[in-house]
Each structure stands twice: as structure tokens, then as C-alpha cells.
Structure 1
Amino acid sequence: MQDPYERRALLHLGDVMETVFCLSQCADEYASIGAAVRGNDALSGFTLLAFVDEKMPPRDFIRRTSGAFSFFVWPKALLDETLNRAMLANTVRHDLFDGNAKGWNAYVEERRRDVAWFGADVSNETLNAKTPVHVTEEAQKPSRYATWPWPLEPNK
């Protein structure tokens, strides 16, 4: 069963938070992500910055990333018994990669190294449409936090 490993791979919030924190330390010095990466060697190792629009202002990246990897939506969703794959991908796509199909595709490719299905439910046709993310009824069901980890079910 790959599910526990895929969930752990998607829980890369530590990397995202470190990227946001390091960028926030110099965000006022640069007009764009590209300028910040070129001007601050400490930022060159953060792969997420290579995927976003290099013209995006650092403060906009910080705001959008905070929404994309919302510190309550992603962790809660990854602990729910039924994983809402489309919601996980759509949250990031909508908040961080709207209008940036190239960056989204690069991010999906990077995530798929560990999670083969990530982003499969997101159409590139809607990527530039500024479509709002809708949380499905399934995602609104009560969580099963208290029973984590769940027993492995045979043949799943």
C-alpha cells in the first residue's frame, strides 16, 4: 500500500515554510522572485521558487503560498481517511500557479517523483481561467484524526 508514503511525501510543508521564511527575510529588497533568487544565494536551493512566475513580487508569493498550502487545509486533508486528491492539487494550483501553466507542470512533475497521481485531476485547460477552488462535500465530512494511523486494509 503506497498511500501512507504518498501522504508523507505530500506533507512537504516544512520545505514550503522554510522557503516562505527565508524569502520573507529579504522580500522588501527585491521587486520579483527572479531578482530575489539571483540576488540572494540562500534562495537558490529552494525548488519551489523555480516553479513560480519569476516576475511575481516576493510578498505576493508569501501571501499566495500561505493560501495554497494552508496550514489547516493540507495537514487536515492528509490525515482524513479518504484523501481528496483533487482538492489538494487544486488548492495549490489555484492559489500559487494561476496563469502559470509551465510552473504548475514543473511542480506536478517534481511532486510525482514520490506521488504518481498528484495533479492528475487538474486540467491545464482551466489553469489560466482563474477558476475558484470549491471544497467538495466529501472534504467537508468530519475527520478521523483520532484513529490515525488506520489499520491497513488488505488488497487496497
Structure 2
Amino acid sequence: MDDRFDRRELLLHLGEVLEAMRNVGATQPFSPIAHLASREPSLQTLPFLQQMSPRMRARDFLERAASAYASWPRALLETELDRIALASTVQRELFADDPQGWASYAAYVRQKVSWFGLELDRTAHASTRVNDRDDEISRTSQSSTMRTGWPWKPVE
């Protein structure tokens, strides 16, 4: 698969994120990032900031964005592109409690990279069904040490 254009677009997006981090760092650390993004001229050119939770403060964005995108340069240089890992770090760090924000952000990135977050969404739905079943089994199980399903093998 020739994904060099997708890699390029993701690198450009990473550059936008770094620019956002630089500009956010020069603002008030306790202000909500979405509010700053709509008010500060240097941040208005970065529309993905509008998708951030209204509860996320500027300093929280800086910490979380650093964690969310730290693995991207190495991942984008790997021979095989791990699409799920690229999206999951961002979802986990920036949108863990904000599914609507994640959906908006992923749609924004998909304007340039059509597959971004799609596999993650499918995987999340599949793992949720398994986890729900595992939770039900663990509630009815007498032994709290027995784990079933992936990645654990049944105790014999």
C-alpha cells in the first residue's frame, strides 16, 4: 500500500499541533482551550482546537498533546503504518471523556487522511462487546483470579 501522502498529511498535522502547543503556551494556563481557540488570533487558524472539551484547560492541553503525539514521528517512519496506534494515542490522551469531541476531531483529520480513526472505532465497538461479556462472567464467577477471553487463557 502506498501511504506516503497520508504520512505527509499526518506530519503536516503534527506540525499544526506543535504550532498550537507553542501558541497555547503563551496564553493563560488555566483558561479553557476551546475558549482560547475562538478568541486568540494565533489559535483561530488551527480549527482542530475547536473540538477540544470546554473543560480542558490550556496547561492540560499542553501535557496531553505532548503525550498524544510523542510517538507520531517514529510511528510515521516505520515501514508498516500502525493506523490504530496513531489514532488511539490521540483519542486516549485528548478525548477520553469526550466522544463527541473525538468524532469531530477524527472527522477533521479525515478531510486529509480518509482512514484516520475508522479502525479504532470498529475495534472499540468490538472490544466493548467482549468486555461487557467478560464483566458479566467475572460478576458471576466464584473465583476472582480466573480470567477468561483474550488475552488470558482459561485456567485449567
Higher gyration radius (CA)? 2
**5 Å matches for 1:94-105?**
94-105=92-103
Q: Which has the higher contact order (CA 8 A, sep 6+)?
A: 1
More moved, 40-49 vs 108-117: 40-49
Q: What aligned pairs does 1:110-121 form with structure 2 within 5 A after superposition?
A: 110-121=108-119
Rounded to whole Å, the distance in 1 between the matches of 2:75 and 2:38 is 35
Structure 1: tracts of 5 or more residues without a match:
128-156
Q: Please report the TM-score for the alignment, with normalisation by the length of structure 1.
A: 0.72
Q: For this pair of structures, how many residues does the alignment match?
A: 124
1:26 is aligned to 27
Distance 1:35 1:6 in 2: 30
Structure with more helix by fraction = 2
Equivalent residues of 2:53, 2:101 under 8 A apart: yes
Identity percentage of aligned residues: 33
Mark the runs of 5 or more structure 2 residues left unpaired by the alignment.
Answer: 129-156
Give the aligned residue type for 1:18.
E
1:148 is aligned to none
**TM-score of the aligned structures, taking structure 2 as reference length:** 0.72
Supply the distance in 2 between the matched residues of 1:38 and 1:77 (Cα, whole angstroms): 31
- The CA distance in 2 between the partners of 1:87 and 1:66, in whole Å, is 15
The residue that corresponds to 1:8 in the other structure is 8
Spell out structure 1 runs of 4+ moving beyond 4 A.
124-127
| Structural RMSD (CA) | 2.0
